[in-house]
Amino acid sequence: MGKQKQGNPTPADLRRQLDEDVQKFLKSGKKIQQIATGVSTQDYAKGRKHIVLGKSNKS
């Protein structure tokens, strides 16, 4: 395999880092809360907030 450019981690590197971060979080005494599917923190009485990901094509 070729060398990875610095700053471009492989998917395996990202998984490993995520696992390390989760282990540190749990060892600190904190807990992971599982949220039921469909639950949202968005307050629909205030209207929807549309989040746009990526670059805008506006000129």
pTM over 0.85: no
The pLDDT value given to residue 19 = 97
Q: What is the DSSP letter of 4?
A: P
Q: Where are the beta strands (DSSP E) in the chain?
A: none
Return the closest-CA partner of residue 22 out of 35, 31, 13, 10.
31
Instruction: Give me 27's structure tokens.
Output: 């060892």
**Alpha-helical runs (H) found in the chain:** 11-27
| pLDDT tens, per residue, the chain with 59 residues | 555 557 899 999 999 999 999 999 999 999 999 989 988 877 777 777 777 788 776 65
Is there a contact between 17 and 9 (Cβ–Cβ < 8 Å)? yes
User: Can you tell me the distance from the alpha carbon of 28 to that of 49, in angstroms, rounded to the nearest whole number?
Assistant: 34
